[in-house]
A = this chain, B = another copy of it.
Amino acid sequence: MVKANANYGRLQGNYLFSTIAKKVAAYTEAHPDAGIIRLGIGDVTQPLSPAVISALHSAVDDMADAKTFHGYAPDLGYEFLRSAIAEQDYRARGCEISDDEIFISDGAKSDSANIQEIFSPDAKVAVCDPVYPVYVDSNVMAGRSGEWIESEQRYSDFIYMPCTEANHFMPEFPKENPDLIYLCFPNNPTGMTITKERLQEWVDYANRIHAVILYDAAYEAYISEPDVPHSIYECEGARTCAIEIRSFSKNAGFTGVRLGFTVVPKDLKADGVALHGLWARRHGTKYNGAPYIIQKAGAAVYTPEGQKEIRQLVGYYMENARMIYEGLKDAGYTVYGGVNAPYIWLKTPDGMSSWDFFDHLLDSKHIVGTPGSGFGPHGEGFFRLTAFGTHENTREAIKRITEA
């Protein structure tokens, strides 16, 4: 008799953003004229930049002619894109990463969900709390979670690293040694970041205890301050302990285009097994490459025009981040993030729970945000707003939130 994967039965509720989408859809149906402003899910609103649009049209034309048609892409990505990434995102910053250590994919969400597959099923997983739910849920599905403890709102077998006001949202080395450590800087959801010095300590720690850091740098383009590392490979020794995941979603607005990549250095081993070969094998067996036209669009991001355009796009969203941060602060809210990240992490007023504040904002202000508790128990009492709206909507949202 066939049985379902029992690990799925341990998942709590729906995927966070699916739950929010359903709540908002129900509210919109009941109140079609509410004029809802969405600052919840991290979805971008600005169109693709001209260099990207032009590359897409040109690649589509290539597909219309047998002489320039492209069938299956190379499993691991086209050389033209891998080399642009390795050169501009890494070697130009002094990080020793070769072209063939870059694996092109359909996005950071897939990669951060799939990467756990190449590790032992009994690997001990450490996550920040609060945290992007994909790291947790993908490991629940893989059977690494143990049981859900309702009273503590946590799984028995994960190591949670609290990120709170008290520790400035910086995870501390856990008491028990983990095998896999998920870190994300600039952080989703808190918008906080890490210094190079502190990240070096994490690299040294991982090398010392023989753990692997899965470093999610999807928001790297939003770094505006010095001494904030753009890549974990800026740290000495990261090639033997770290995998880095990047996205085109937030720097180039590719949420609906789907492109990302993962860096697996050839020096990285798990108990003697090179992880580069395992990830290559997973790609080759379970994936058929990102579409040619999408990879061409990705390459356009690395042209001088493309770089100029995405800086403008990031600047546009960071202006929203500034508006949210300053508007809420001036109105007496306690706010974090928003300086090196497109996320603002705010304390709910009057000790409201995260979901109560969600309902309040939706019902009386017609604004959608994300409840902090959806990211983990230490997110309770916090709330995430994103800077990915339009200027107009963002301004209007802050006006609505801050007015009596």
Copies of this chain, complex-wide, total 2
Q: Is A65 an interface residue (CB 8 A)?
A: yes
CB neighbours of A121 from chain B (8 A): 5, 143
Residues of A240-286 contacting chain B, CB below 8 A: 253, 255-258, 270-271, 273, 275, 278, 281-282, 284-286
| B-contacting 9-mer, from A46-54, A95-103, A349-357 | A46-54
CB neighbours of A143 from chain B (8 A): 121
CB neighbours of A255 from chain B (8 A): 71-72, 288
| B-contacting 9-mer, from A133-141, A162-170, A338-346, A377-385 | A133-141
Say whether B293 contacts A56, CB under 8 Å. yes
Q: Is A11 an interface residue (CB 8 A)?
A: yes
CB neighbours of A92 from chain B (8 A): none
Say whether B119 contacts A288, CB under 8 Å. no
Binary per-residue interface labels of chain A (1-26) against chain B in the complex, 1 for a CB within 8 Å, 0 otherwise: 11111101101001101100000000
A17 vs B3: C-alpha distance when bound (angstroms): 32
Say whether B44 contacts A64, CB under 8 Å. no
CB neighbours of A118 from chain B (8 A): 4-5, 8
* Contact among B60, B107, B258 for A53, CB-based, below 8 A: B60
Closest to A288 in B: B109
A132 vs B66: C-alpha distance when bound (angstroms): 27
Known: A14-B281, A179-B2, A271-B2. A64 touches B45 (CB 8 A): no
Q: Is A212 an interface residue (CB 8 A)?
A: yes
Closest to A6 in B: B120
Instruction: For chain A, give the interface size range.
Output: 35 or more
Q: Is A307 an interface residue (CB 8 A)?
A: no
CB neighbours of A271 from chain B (8 A): 1-4
Q: Is A318 an interface residue (CB 8 A)?
A: no
CB neighbours of A109 from chain B (8 A): 286-288
Say whether B14 contacts A284, CB under 8 Å. yes
Q: Is A185 an interface residue (CB 8 A)?
A: no
A211 vs B1: C-alpha distance when bound (angstroms): 6
Q: Is A63 an interface residue (CB 8 A)?
A: yes
Q: Is A110 an interface residue (CB 8 A)?
A: yes
Q: Is A331 an interface residue (CB 8 A)?
A: no
Q: Is A292 an interface residue (CB 8 A)?
A: yes
CB neighbours of A290 from chain B (8 A): 258
Say whether B48 contacts A66, CB under 8 Å. no
Say whether A45 contacts B60, CB under 8 Å. no
Q: Is A77 an interface residue (CB 8 A)?
A: no
Say whether A4 contacts B119, CB under 8 Å. yes
Closest to A271 in B: B3
CB neighbours of A211 from chain B (8 A): 2
Known: A3-B119, A210-B1, A286-B138. A256 touches B180 (CB 8 A): no
Say whether B71 contacts A123, CB under 8 Å. no
* Contact among B18, B117, B120, B292 for A3, CB-based, below 8 A: B120
Say whether B15 contacts A285, CB under 8 Å. yes
What are 13 A-B contacts with C-beta separation under 8 Å?
A: A2-B211, A2-B270, A4-B120, A4-B275, A14-B284, A43-B71, A45-B69, A46-B69, A47-B65, A50-B64, A53-B63, A66-B390, A138-B286
Starting from the known contacts A47-B65, A106-B106, A294-B294, 20 additional A-B residue pairs (CB-CB under 8 Å) come to A1-B210, A2-B210, A3-B120, A3-B179, A4-B120, A4-B271, A5-B117, A5-B118, A6-B120, A18-B75, A18-B284, A45-B69, A53-B60, A53-B64, A106-B288, A110-B288, A134-B286, A138-B286, A141-B282, A257-B293
